[in-house]
Structure 1
Amino acid sequence: MKEEMMVGLSAPGPVGRWGAAPPQAMLERMKDYGQEGAFALWDDLSPEDRELLVRDIESLDLSRIDRIIRRSLGSQGIPLPAVEPVPESSVSKVEDRSAEDKERWWKKGLKAISEGKLAVVLLAGGQGTRLGSSDPKGCFNIGLPSGKSLFQLQAERILCVQKLAAQSSESPSNTVPIHWYIMTSPFTDAATAKFFETRRYFGLDPDQVTFFQQGTLPCVSADGRFIMETAYRVAKAPDGNGGVYAALKSKKLMEDMAARGVKYVDCYGVDNALVRVADPTFLGYFIDMGASSAAKVVRKAYPQENVGVFVQRGRGGPLSVVEYSEMDSAMATEMNQSTGRLRYCWSNICLHMFTLDFLNQVANSLEKDSVYHLAEKKIPSIHGFTTGLKLEQFIFDAFTYSPSTALFEVMREEEFAPVKNASGATYDTPDSAKLMLLRLHSRWVVAAGGFLTHSVPLYMTGVEVSPLSSYAGENLEAICRGRTFHAPSEISF
């Protein structure tokens, strides 16, 4: 906080100490940034509310916020740099991988995990509002036979990978924990921590889980003025999932990772029911490539699918992501005549891998540039809901800074079951995610020699394999061979 902003405010005093006018130093400071309108209703406030307003303004880093607002508003209307499709040769495609490649990457990844070189960062700041719930999205139960939440599925996958890594090491009895850094928001932090505590961290050691909050930024009008949520509080919103970089830096969590011996960081979003947390194969591939960053991708299902796609910024430039809202119809539908596929086809699904060194670089670069995406939203204000702008960074903003980004294609039906819309919507619902998981696990069971019976058509149901029993379909023969399972049910041993 700037020293001049703290003049007359550093020591707490009695309620109502500000009197008839706002504190002069703060008022002048706000005028410098054109935000004195925050005090417009000062005369109408009670002494208690005046105190709340002063403390709210005091909590803001005004010089940083002003820089962000000016640069972000100033970027409007500037055309995007020319983009090219990602060269096919730059993507590790599913059909090009040999069994030997996959086995080598799997073993290399497990070795790195057993040596404590991998940490996992979960982006879990969102609420399940679109799912009809005010709880953190990770608490959501998509309706599996086990009744497990998204958080529990992910925690148990971490437990399974830890076990596999220990078994593959020279010291099978020595399990090295994968540290799980969970980014919450002011709206989900307390509820997330309580959810984990009441469920005993789903079998994880509480010491291997760190919760940290992403930042918030004021919501602003089209001319950059603060919108007031109440007469004594500035309207604020989380700074986007790209706020993870600033949050990791401000909380000194990258130093914490380094002290634990971490070299690689797996970063993903909470709302994917099929996410392979701490995937050894992806990690092994990443290490093999020697890249600074990597992303799992799936082929775009159809031209109008609402997903961002990876592009190349100019010929030979860095990879980055163009959001679907930024693509015109010509770009979205353009075909590669030699392959018969979309030219811009590699969908970003928020499954990323970074080196810790690169994360440090990104945290500094993004803060220095401070250009945020502007999202026009209805903002709660003293005048009711008013149209305003939220300032956000996105997790994929990092790729622009990467000297080398590797793309790793995965099968949608194996690793990407987003939970974004309430049941009854046409796509990305709890029901669609549940069915994708049950179908995948049913294929695992049949491949391991098991049999299924079912009282409804099999395409409408299936069996669920506990992550504690198998991470990606491995080690199921002893459980399944020659046995019959009735769908829907959970298989857990």
Structure 2
Amino acid sequence: MLENGDDSDVRQDLLERFKDYGQDQTVAYWHELSPEERNILVRDLEVVIRFTLLHSNTHFDSVHLSQKVDLPRVSRIIRKSLRKQDKPALAPIADSEVATLETRTQEERGRWWGLGLRAISEGKLAVLLLSGGQGTRLGSKEPKGCFNIGLPSGKSLFQLQAERILRVQRLSSQSTANGRVVKVPWYIMTSPFTDAATKKYFQSRKYFGLEPDQVTFFQQGTLPCITTDGRFIMTNPYTIAAAPDGNGGVYSALKSSGCLEDMARRGVKYVDMYSVDNALVRVADPLFLGYWIDKGTSCAAKVIKKAYPQERVGVFAHHGKGGPVGVAEYTELSSDLQFAINQETGRLAYKWSNICMHLFSLDFLNTVVAELDKDSIYHLAEKKIPSVDGVVDGIKLEQFIFDSIPYAPTVSLFEVIREEEFAPVKNANGATTDTPDTANALVQRLHMGWVVSAGGSIANLGNSYASGLEVSPLLSYAGEGLEELCRGRTFHASTEIHA
């Protein structure tokens, strides 16, 4: 570091190296920096040059981009991503390509449920949670998974998901002849901004009843924020502006963190991957898993029908007629395609929405990690970014979880009911959609239906927005097993029924 050498030599060396990549602005303020600030900048830039860790599970008091990124790789990503990319022509997904509700029989559903439970009991399934986001848009300083949407129990999103895993473990254990103990590994991808707080939250709540050794935290990477001509934006004279690399950063993070090897050591064959901000997500869903095992494809996704043409969700589509299946983000779907009608059905042609619930084989994940790193094409998110020169028009580079799907030789799409499995929490209360209040209402109304179907009744419903009640995930995963408890009983609205 500087105290052991000539700082003018250090500056010249760094300047020359970063000039080679068109990033000499990173040391433009050298003469104005204090010795401490120079040390911070030199440390960052030297680590970039040495191509060190792309990702790290180390706790950082402050986030230094260079501890997670190597310069040649980032330069390649920027160069390829800024190059004008021809968007593939899209073709709709036909209804016959989706396991729709209308085409399933009770016999099939029962068989798939049994197949899924058996695979889980054999230790073949891991669950992977995408949880790098903060709750800023919800008015919270904590990681989004810590958020309490207002249910009677006061449970956070993390707790709801943990308890669903516990319930599936119990169901899987009961399905085996010897009642063996089942533990589903849970991998949780954080970001440098949420990692320490997430770990502390789990530890303080004793992992919600899960064993600590079945929960593994790993961090997604960050990438520099860039100008429209590909130059790093400096937050201040000695820090490069950085942002998480999108939920698709999970693929390279799985490799660099050693999680793929850990899954293989545990005997995992299948990975259930989902996003934290869905209050109704069916984690480790035996039905979905059994369906996918039965189909024998490389990956699968749950889908719902689009609610209206302009709904802000990505849709599944073919990349070219008869081409691979992929996802078109709503920002990439032209108005003509949004409103396009299938002339045979009279419904939207591009209607199968992606809700970020995926199953991948471990073999496919190993393959796609290499493919995505080789292609290195990222989505460009235009943002106003604070910089040393004031707020500037900049770009954040992101990959999305669905970027892997076109690489799959075969894909299965599985329709689910929106009101049963999709309660997104993206906006603060007061917005028109996807708020804690709307998610709370969806959970309580669904659970009220479970109780009534099991022979119970509900008193004091009133006219509240979240009119219904809550059933603990420890008691029932998807409405099963409630008859003995509920038949002939009356429950008060807006309370939790728990084991």
Q: Distance in 2 between matches of 1:419 and 1:455?
A: 24
Name the structure 1 match of 2:120.
113
Name the structure 2 match of 1:49.
37
Q: Does 1:146 align with 2:168?
A: no
Name the structure 2 match of 1:488.
494
Name the structure 2 match of 1:444.
450
Query: What's the CA shift string for 1:20-52, capped at 9, x where partnerless?
Result: 353444322211101111000001111111110
Find the partner of 1:454 among 446, 457, 460: 460
Query: What's the CA shift string for 1:68-100, capped at 9, x where partnerless?
Result: 0000001x3x33111110121110001211001
Query: What's the CA shift string for 1:369-396, capped at 9, x where partnerless?
Result: 0000010111121122221000100000
Q: Distance in 2 between matches of 1:17 and 1:95?
A: 73
Superposition map of 1:31-430 within 5 A: 31-60=19-48, 61-74=70-83, 76=84, 78-172=85-179, 174-430=180-436
Tell me: CA distance 1:51–1:196, structure 2 relative to 1, closer, same or farther (3 Å): same
Q: Distance in 2 between matches of 1:400 and 1:207?
A: 34
Using structure 2 for the length normalisation, give the TM-score.
0.94
Q: Is residue 120–residue 266 contact of structure 1 (8 Å, CA) maintained in 2?
A: yes
SS in 1 for 2:247: coil
SS in 2 for 1:266: strand
Q: Is residue 2–residue 10 contact of structure 2 (8 Å, CA) maintained in 1?
A: no
Q: Distance in 2 between matches of 1:354 and 1:301?
A: 27
Identity percentage over the alignment?
64
Q: Distance in 1 between matches of 2:32 and 2:4?
A: 13
Q: Distance in 1 between matches of 2:47 and 2:149?
A: 38
Amino acid at match of 1:191: A
Deviation at 1:17, TM superposition (A): 4.2
Q: Where does the alignment leave 5 or more consecutive residues of structure 2 unmatched?
A: 49-69
Q: Distance in 2 between matches of 1:175 and 1:306?
A: 42
Name the structure 1 match of 2:10.
22
The root-mean-square deviation of aligned C-alpha atoms, in Å, is 1.2
Deviation at 1:19, TM superposition (A): 2.1
Q: Is residue 16–residue 48 contact of structure 1 (8 Å, CA) maintained in 2?
A: no
SS in 2 for 1:352: strand
Q: Where does the alignment leave 5 or more consecutive residues of structure 1 unmatched?
A: 1-12
State how many pairs are aligned.
478
Tell me: CA distance 1:434–1:215, structure 2 relative to 1, closer, same or farther (3 Å): same
Q: Distance in 2 between matches of 1:81 and 1:414?
A: 33
Query: What's the CA shift string for 1:92-137, capped at 9, x where partnerless?
Result: 0012110011100000000000000000110000001111112100
Amino acid at match of 2:151: L
Q: Distance in 1 between matches of 2:189 and 2:103?
A: 35
Deviation at 1:338, TM superposition (A): 1.7
Amino acid at match of 1:232: Y
Which stretches of structure 1, 4 residues or more, deviate above 6 A after TM superposition? Answer: none
Q: Is residue 451–residue 484 contact of structure 1 (8 Å, CA) maintained in 2?
A: yes
Q: Distance in 1 between matches of 2:152 and 2:271?
A: 32
Using structure 1 for the length normalisation, give the TM-score.
0.95
Q: Distance in 1 between matches of 2:14 and 2:445?
A: 60
SS in 2 for 1:20: helix
Q: Distance in 2 between matches of 1:336 and 1:45?
A: 62
Q: Distance in 2 between matches of 1:337 and 1:455?
A: 44
Deviation at 1:345, TM superposition (A): 0.2
Q: Distance in 1 between matches of 2:237 and 2:9?
A: 15
Deviation at 1:336, TM superposition (A): 1.1
Deviation at 1:156, TM superposition (A): 0.1
Q: Distance in 2 between matches of 1:377 and 1:106?
A: 44
